[in-house]
Amino acid sequence: MSTQMWIRQIHRWLSMAFTLAVIANIVAMIMQLQAVWIGVLALVPLIPLLATGLYLFALPYLNRSNA
């Protein structure tokens, strides 16, 4: 698998981890739980999601200059 495909797959699976963390945050909010780690739980996948997402965004422009 190429590097591009790896990054796309990583972005894809991190999005599921992020979704679960968002659900955990909503549940914690409903249960009125105050815990910093639940908030951090969403940030952990979100930061690499941002990096890989920006890479995916830049890909078509990077490929254009190669053509």
State which of residues 26, 33, 50, 62 lies at the interface with ligand HEM (CB under 6 A). Answer: 50
Asked if 46 contacts 20 with a C-beta cutoff of 8 angstroms, the reply is no
CB-count burial class (<10 Å; 0-12, 13-18, 19+) for 7: middle
State which residue, 4 or 35, has the beta carbon closest to ligand HEM: 4
Q: Does the footprint of ligand HEM cover residue 25 (CB under 6 A)?
A: no
Asked if 52 contacts 11 with a C-beta cutoff of 8 angstroms, the reply is yes
State which of residues 15, 25, 28, 42 lies at the interface with ligand HEM (CB under 6 A). Answer: 15
State which residue, 28 or 49, has the beta carbon closest to ligand HEM: 49
